[in-house]
Structure 1
Amino acid sequence: MLFGRLLTAMCTPFTPDGEIDWDAQGALIEHLIQTGTDTIVVSGTTAESPTLSKDEKLALFSFTVKQVAGRVKIIAGVGSNNTVETVQFTRLAAETGVDGVMGVVPYYNKPSQEGIYQHFVAIANATTLPVMLYNVPGRTSANMTAETMIRLSELKNVIAIKEASGNLSQITKVISSVPDDVVVYSGDDSLTLPILAAGGDGIVSVASHLVGLEMKEMIDAYLAGDVQKAAKLHQRYQPVFEGIFLTSSPSPLKYALAKKGLIHPTVRLPLVEMTEDEKQQVDRWFHELVQ
């Protein structure tokens, strides 16, 4: 399995004045590697990709490739709602040395299923790198149906799907219908265990910033047949899975990582840092489960 079981959708550390914090980027990469991450996804939703310029994204890809030095895999988030620009950017991303690319269903446009299909065909044709499909209708306002994902899985370099629709029936249909060499990841930490039980392959996680080793332990326990242990870990860390989405992501995550001394809590507008009441809610599960 090229990208492993535990992938982390990495946030982008910013300085207090909103610039990329390169020292913190390096420290956070090291933290993720040490806590079980198999693959780092750079410039996905959790990275605040809508507020990153193309030059910033390319710099993040290059920096991460250099910092990682082959120890884990790197997937570049290249998605946008402009197919021509996505194709051009995919080619630029490939030149930075990343191991794969991830495209998202075009947002705001609300394309038809044929439009979604042709968008991903264009991405796949623009590179020889492995391609991950990303379905997250809660953010894009367009759901990629199981039939479209299955159809796209027939493309040579589409080898992974990140499914964050929350629709277990749809996800199960995808898992049961794609070729054996196409892996299906949960895009929702809370559904990691249910999707594993349905035959899925792992998680593209946000919680792994905070409880990576515990996520890895849960996955390994399930795969080893210790379902009871996996279930107990799932139950124990559910407050983390839910708490990091208390308000607009990644504000709660960045607040928690700041409490660990890894990054500043800075987010870029239109996101804002959490209120005092929200911080107190994070504090409750942080002190019990993370610190």
Structure 2
Amino acid sequence: MNFGQILTAMVTPFDEHEEIDFQATRNLINYLIANGTEGLVVSGTTGESPTLTEEEKVELFKFTVEVVNGRIPVIAGTGSYNTKESMKLTKLAEDAGVDGIMLVAPYYSKPSQEGLYQHFRTIAEVTSLPIMLYNIPGRSVVNMSVETVIRLSKIPNIVSIKEASGNLDIMAEIIDHTPEDFSLYSGDDGLTIPVLSIGGTGVISVASHVIGNEMQAMIKNFKIGNIQEAAKEHRRLLPIMKALFAAPNPTPVKAALNLKGVPVGGVRLPMVPLNDEQLSALQQVLNV
């Protein structure tokens, strides 16, 4: 299923008391839609989901759906290491009116491949919404095998994967052995063009918070066969993409948005703000 080419893994704006700032969230949503975002992933890792309560997540889903008002797809991050809790949150997200669900591989508990399969299958059974799997071994410490993804792709409402292993060989194999309408998205901004070149659909992006239009131009050039120009754009944007991960995500991208005049506040512990040196390096790359 194609949710669009560039989906933004949206940050969660906080006020000075570290509560969700809904006015800032409204402004951010409208800013992203106006600047190259074709879909929103709400309450993913970039949205600081581990620090959001269930109540906050549901409130955020409802609010985002209301503000977006059908302009682009809204995908709710409802995955965790707790299958029953993920089932409950998935049902609440569906009630909130979201367009899809993203389920991260269960972190910390390190389940087997069979455990992964049963986890995702069980959650898929409680919703009619399309589901995007999320493989990010760097954070979850488990890597979904190609065989597990292929098996899961046979479940009717599991329609997509955000693949953040960085392994193009694995991605090519997934694309090759899953149904034609099963989509694969890069979980890494810097691999957007390589993933498109092997048949991927697009990217779930952090950098699109600040260079969404530029990334759209890069993809457009690639799609129309202007490969040299797309490659040039890729090389030009890469330092910005890298700078946004110079400290644990989403601290740099929140700082970048604040610098660019799109206020989103700070981060919740255990994340900490950028130090002066990091902030200065980010300003230099962003030229602000």
Report the equivalent of 2:83: 83
The Cα shift of 1:112 comes to 0.4
The Cα shift of 1:74 comes to 0.2
SS across alignment from 1:103: strand
The Cα shift of 1:32 comes to 0.6
Alpha-carbon displacement from aligned partner over 1:43-63 (angstroms, at most 9, x marks no partner): 000000000000000000000
Give me the whole-angstrom Cα distance separating, in 1, the residues matched to 2:60 and 2:85: 18
Report percent identity of matched pairs: 51
Report the equivalent of 1:109: 109
| AA of the residue aligned to 2:175 | I
TM-score (norm 1): 0.97
Give me the whole-angstrom Cα distance separating, in 2, the residues matched to 1:263 and 1:171: 36
SS across alignment from 1:45: coil
Aligned pairs for 1:181-260 (under 5 A) are 181-260=181-260
| AA of the residue aligned to 1:97 | G
| AA of the residue aligned to 1:123 | I
**Residue 148 in structure 1 maps to residue 148 in structure 2:** yes
Alpha-carbon displacement from aligned partner over 1:111-164 (angstroms, at most 9, x marks no partner): 000100111101111100000000000000000111111111111011111000
The Cα shift of 1:88 comes to 1.2
Tell me if structure 2 keeps the 8 A contact 1:150–1:177: yes
Alpha-carbon displacement from aligned partner over 1:186-212 (angstroms, at most 9, x marks no partner): 000001111111111100000000000
Tell me if structure 1 keeps the 8 A contact 2:40–2:73: yes
SS across alignment from 2:7: strand
Report the equivalent of 2:46: 46
Tell me if structure 2 keeps the 8 A contact 1:265–1:273: no
The Cα shift of 1:71 comes to 0.6
Runs (4 or more) in structure 1 with deviation over 4 Å come to: none
Give me the whole-angstrom Cα distance separating, in 2, the residues matched to 1:174 and 1:223: 21
Structure 1: segments with no counterpart, 5+ residues: none
Give me the whole-angstrom Cα distance separating, in 2, the residues matched to 1:154 and 1:221: 33
Aligned-residue CA RMSD in angstroms? 0.9
Give me the whole-angstrom Cα distance separating, in 1, the residues matched to 2:174 and 2:121: 18
**Residue 68 in structure 1 maps to residue 68 in structure 2:** yes
The Cα shift of 1:179 comes to 0.6
Report the equivalent of 2:266: 266
SS across alignment from 2:133: strand
Residues paired across the two proteins, number: 288
Report the equivalent of 2:24: 24
Tell me if structure 1 keeps the 8 A contact 2:146–2:170: yes
The Cα shift of 1:220 comes to 1.4
Give me the whole-angstrom Cα distance separating, in 2, the residues matched to 1:124 and 1:95: 15
